[in-house]
Amino acid sequence: MDDFTELVERHQTMVFRTLARLTGDRDGLEDLAQEVFLRLFRALPHFRGQAQVTTFLYRIMVNLVNDEFRRRQKARRASPIEEEERTLEHSAPGPLELLEQSQRQEAVEAALLRLDPRDRAILTLHYQEGRAYEEIAAILDAPLGTVKTRLYRARERLKVMLKEWTSTCRIEG
Amino acid sequence: MPDRRVDAADAALDVALRRAPEVRIPPHFVNRVVASLPRTPADPPTSPWVLPALSLAGAATLASLGWTAIALGWAHWFSQPPVLAAVLGIEAAASLAWVWRVFRSPR
């Protein structure tokens, strides 16, 4: 148990920052991070050291966030207060407003959230976490070529989104 | 000039993507995680040879039962369609119950 405590202490910052970018959320992070470590604990007997613990943790996080997004989508479809949720979503500052305030960082965060969750994961793992293509392929259980192609396309999409928003700002400004 | 603008936009995007969001880790997070862990240790992983070995043992048992039935002269009795159907039904139900127990039971 002491070993596991040490493991949590060593990786908690990485888990929180990765989850923050993958979800674009800062509020529910603690619960998600707790679930990540719980899943790691359950999986440890099956962990034979073929991969690093960090790779294993990234895989758990990507799967957990995908599950969470699917769950939210399903709840949104089934929920009678769908409109209320939409209103809440729109009340958050959109990329346009953020760019107007010259907050490029937040605009990029907002644009990231509009990407496919898998593409967002690839961008996060590559740029923020500095993971090699091979490791990302192992984390996502995807071919190396697919990872490289998706990374390039996702980046291009981000650029297009930011460019469109910038030009909209100029027109409206 | 436009190329330089594109380079600058690319570089700015790179910086934004590399910059990790600021997060605040609750002070007692580690304690909370440790407290939430299950008390009983997780089951050790099933060895890869267990399933084939059990299947072989099951097949050997069935074969020996068949051989015994033939040796006792019950072969003609088993060849009757209702008896054969009943025996096969019981065997299928037992196999399904075993498979369900192996794959679906909580670990």
**pLDDT tens for residues A115-167?**
999 999 999 999 999 999 999 999 999 999 999 999 999 999 998 888 887 77
Chain A residues lying within 8 Å of B40, measured CB to CB: none
Give the B window 47-106 contacts with A, CB below 8 Å. none
Q: Which of B13, B20, B42 sits opposite A45 (nearest CB)?
A: B42
pLDDT tens-place string over residues A86-120: 433 444 555 555 555 456 787 888 888 889 999 99
pLDDT at position A136 is: 95
Establish if B10 touches chain A: CB-CB under 8 angstroms. yes
Give the phi and the psi of residue A106 in degrees, each rounded to 5.
-70, -30
Q: What is the structure's pLDDT at A3? A: 84
The rounded distance, in Å, linking the Cα atoms of A98 and A104 is: 7
Q: Which of B17, B36, B37, B107 to mutate to test the interface with A (most CBs of A within 10 A)?
A: B17
For chain B, give the number of residues: 107
Q: Please tell me if residue A109 touches chain B, with a CB cutoff of 8 Å.
A: yes
CB-based contact (8 Å) between A105 and chain B? Answer: yes
Interface contact A9, partner B, CB < 8 A:
yes
State the ipTM, two decimals.
Answer: 0.74
Radius of gyration from C-alpha coordinates of chain A: 18
Q: With DSSP H G I counted as helix, E B as strand and the rest as coil, what are the percentages for chain A, rounded to 5?
A: 80, 0, 20
Question: What is the set of domains in chain A, with CATH numbers?
Answer: 1-92 (1.10.1740.10), 93-173 (1.10.10.10)
Virtual torsion, Cα B6, B8, B9, B13, nearest 10 deg: 140
pLDDT in tens, A36-93: 999 999 888 777 665 688 998 999 999 999 888 888 777 777 655 444 444 334 445 5
Instruction: For chain A, say whether B34 makes contact (Cβ under 8 Å).
Output: yes
A125 to chain B, closest Cα gap in Å: 10
Report how far apart, in Å, the C-alpha atoms of A63 and of each of A104, B15, B30 are.
28, 26, 22
Predicted TM-score (pTM) of this structure: 0.65
In terms of Cα–Cα distance, which of A116, A100, A109 is closest to A172? Answer: A100
Q: Shortest CB distance from A37 goes to which of B9, B33, B42? A: B33
C-alpha separations of A1 from A24, A33, A145, B24, B89 in Å: 32, 18, 40, 25, 49
Instruction: Name every chain A residue with its beta carbon within 8 A of the beta carbon of B27.
Output: none
